[in-house]
Amino acid sequence: MNDAERPLSPPQSQLAYWIFQLTGWGVYSLSRFVGGVSVMNLPWAHFGLQLLCVDALGFGLSHLLRGFVRRHQWRALPIRKLIWPVIAASFVCGIPLGILTQFTDVALLQDPNEFLEGMSSAMRFQLALPVAIALEIVNWSFVFLIWLMIYFTAIAVREHRSAQLIQSEMARALHLAELQLLKTQLNPHFLFNALNTVRSLIADNPARAQNAVTHLANTLRYTLSSRQDELVTLSQEMDIVADYLDLESMRFEDRLRIDKQVPADAAGVRIPVMLLQTLVENAIKHGIAELPGGGQLRISATVQHDMLNLEVENPRPSAPIRVTHEGVGLRNARDRLRLLFGERASLDLDLSQPTVATARLRVPLQA
């Protein structure tokens, strides 16, 4: 997850609050100032100073209201229980400002006579001030009501986004844990087969067994050093495959013949670690090892249309002994491809020919 996607930290959240607070009240005050000066022709200096004092008080009350809301954890309340506290708080904050406004030129922005039409002059005189104060209280209560609605909406959006990011992080952690589990399943499986190869050489040829141990040590070193890497280049994977094939050649001797066709443009493509080794191991275990005369193992790679096409081909027994069975290595290989690339990659085992098995791997160049 990059920095732009992370939830706001407390300092960043505070900064965002002050930016929106200053911007919102600034726009509100500016609009009223423009209306008073340009529409009602009020003296801009005197009117502007009074407007600044009144709106500064509104700014301060809104900040105190935010602290009250946070202390009493109103954002944890369900909406149906939040409605009446919000209305009451808006009204409480609107009362002092509504009264104060009547002692300033800001009150001229509101004309109470519109609500007193049809009354006698005496009645209008008696009710003008109470109606004007009531209108200002309603006006300011409405301002604070809008302020609280925007505040709670911003909190809801932020918390929803934070919850989504936490869920995404949890999914990513599970994703990585699943990949690590697949790797721990794969590596002991390979180690078991390799140790059987070394064991078969110890009694017959100790010197070659020592070489086999060297190749096995290289393989284990590669496995341990790549535990933090999910993807390696094809050339790196070919190096470990070479050690494995050298080790298996000691056991099969002339029964194992190898043909590698990996062009330079394919060598740098990144593939899942230990994946090619898994395919080669599967080809030997389920194919060449079961044939008395062995056979040729062919590894070929091409790059076409931003995809790496990798094939591992081997002869196999004509009798369908294990046609429908796939080992843990191939199952894990498919699972790892799914987790790393989704639908962009594929691994197919072609058993359509009676005596040949071909594993075809497709991986996008951009991992």
Has residue 301 been placed in a domain? yes
For residue 241, CA distances in Å to 58, 183, 288 come to: 73, 17, 16
**Per-residue pLDDT at 323:** 45
The residue out of 170, 195, 218 marking a domain boundary is 170
For residues 161 and 208, state if they share a domain.
no
- Position of tokens 């909190």? 155
Neighbours of 309 (CB within 10 A): 15
Has residue 198 been placed in a domain? no
Question: Measured between alpha carbons, how far is 194 from 311 in angstroms, rounded to an integer?
Answer: 23
Q: Which pairing describes strands 346-350 and 295-304: parallel, antiparallel, or unpaired?
A: unpaired
Has residue 187 been placed in a domain? no
For residues 137 and 24, state if they share a domain.
yes
Written as six digits, the tokens of 83 are 């409605």
For residues 108 and 220, state if they share a domain.
no
CATH number at residue 310: 3.30.565.10
For residues 66 and 136, state if they share a domain.
yes
Helix (H) or strand (E) holding 6: none
**Per-residue pLDDT at 5:** 44
Q: What is the pLDDT of residues 106-141, one digit of tens each?
A: 888 876 666 566 665 666 656 667 888 888 899 999
**Per-residue pLDDT at 252:** 80
Using CA of residue 44, residue 49, residue 52, residue 58, what is the dihedral sign?
Answer: negative
Q: Which pairing describes strands 307-315 and 356-364: parallel, antiparallel, or unpaired?
A: antiparallel
What three-state secondary structure class fits 56?
A: helix
Pick the closest to residue 309 from 354, 271, 252, 353 (CA basis): 271
For residues 160 and 74, state if they share a domain.
yes
Q: What is the pLDDT of residues 264-277, one digit of tens each?
A: 999 999 988 888 88
For residue 271, CA distances in Å to 167, 235, 348 come to: 28, 10, 16
Has residue 316 been placed in a domain? yes
Has residue 49 been placed in a domain? yes
Question: Measured between alpha carbons, how far is 363 from 200 in angstroms, rounded to an integer?
Answer: 36
Q: Which pairing describes strands 256-261 and 270-272: parallel, antiparallel, or unpaired?
A: unpaired
For residues 70 and 210, state if they share a domain.
no
Domain count of the chain?
A: 2
pLDDT at residue 2 greater than cutoff 50: no
Question: Measured between alpha carbons, how far is 333 from 312 in angstroms, rounded to an integer?
Answer: 14
**For residues 202 and 211, is the Cβ–Cβ distance under 8 A?**
no
For residues 154 and 234, state if they share a domain.
no
Written as six digits, the tokens of 230 are 């999910």
For residues 163 and 17, state if they share a domain.
yes
pLDDT at residue 326 greater than cutoff 70: no
Question: Measured between alpha carbons, how far is 194 from 140 in angstroms, rounded to an integer?
Answer: 80
- Domain of 99? 3-170
Categorize the per-residue pLDDT at 338 as very low, low, confident or very high, splitting at 50, 70 and 90.
Answer: confident
Residues in CB range of 150: below 8 A, 6 or more apart: 24
Has residue 182 been placed in a domain? no
The residue out of 127, 155, 170 marking a domain boundary is 170
**For residues 278 and 326, is the Cβ–Cβ distance under 8 A?**
no
Q: Which pairing describes strands 307-315 and 270-272: parallel, antiparallel, or unpaired?
A: unpaired
Question: Measured between alpha carbons, how far is 359 from 122 in angstroms, rounded to an integer?
Answer: 100
Burial class (CB in 10 A: 0-12, 13-18, 19+), 3: exposed
Eight-state DSSP code of residue 228: T
Question: Measured between alpha carbons, how far is 238 from 236 in angstroms, rounded to an integer?
Answer: 5
For residues 211 and 145, state if they share a domain.
no
For residues 12 and 155, state if they share a domain.
yes
Has residue 193 been placed in a domain? no
For residues 245 and 293, state if they share a domain.
yes
Pick the closest to residue 14 from 66, 55, 59 (CA basis): 66
Neighbours of 357 (CB within 10 A): 21
Q: What is the pLDDT of residues 156-193, one digit of tens each?
A: 888 888 878 777 776 665 566 555 555 555 556 567 76
**For residues 252 and 294, is the Cβ–Cβ distance under 8 A?**
yes
For residues 149 and 215, state if they share a domain.
no
DSSP 172-202: HHHHHHHHHHHHHHHHHHHHHHHHHHHHHHH
Question: Measured between alpha carbons, how far is 31 from 328 in angstroms, rounded to an integer?
Answer: 71
Q: What is the pLDDT of residues 53-92, one digit of tens each?
A: 999 999 999 999 999 999 988 988 888 889 999 999 999 9
DSSP 32-49: HHHIIIIIS---HHHHHH
Has residue 231 been placed in a domain? yes
